[in-house]
Amino acid sequence: MCSFGGSLASSVHGKFSSVEPDKLILSLKTVWNLLMKVGDLVLPKEEHKTKGVDYGIGVIISMYEEEFDGKEWCAVHWKHSVQYWEPHEMELVSESR
Question: In this predicted model, what pLDDT tens digit does every residue of 32-42 receive, in sequence order?
Answer: 555 789 999 99
Structural domains in the chain plus CATH codes: 1-35 (no CATH), 37-97 (2.30.30)
Question: For residue 76, what pLDDT is reported?
Answer: 97
Question: For residue 21, what pLDDT is reported?
Answer: 59
Question: For residue 36, what pLDDT is reported?
Answer: 87
Work out the average pLDDT over 29-53. Answer: 83
Question: For residue 70, what pLDDT is reported?
Answer: 85
Rounded mean pLDDT of the chain? Answer: 77
Question: For residue 95, what pLDDT is reported?
Answer: 80
Burial readout 44-75 (b: 16 or more C-beta within 10 A, e: otherwise) = beeeeeeeeeebeebbbeebeeeeeeeebbbb
Residue 80 pLDDT class (50, 70, 90 cuts): very high
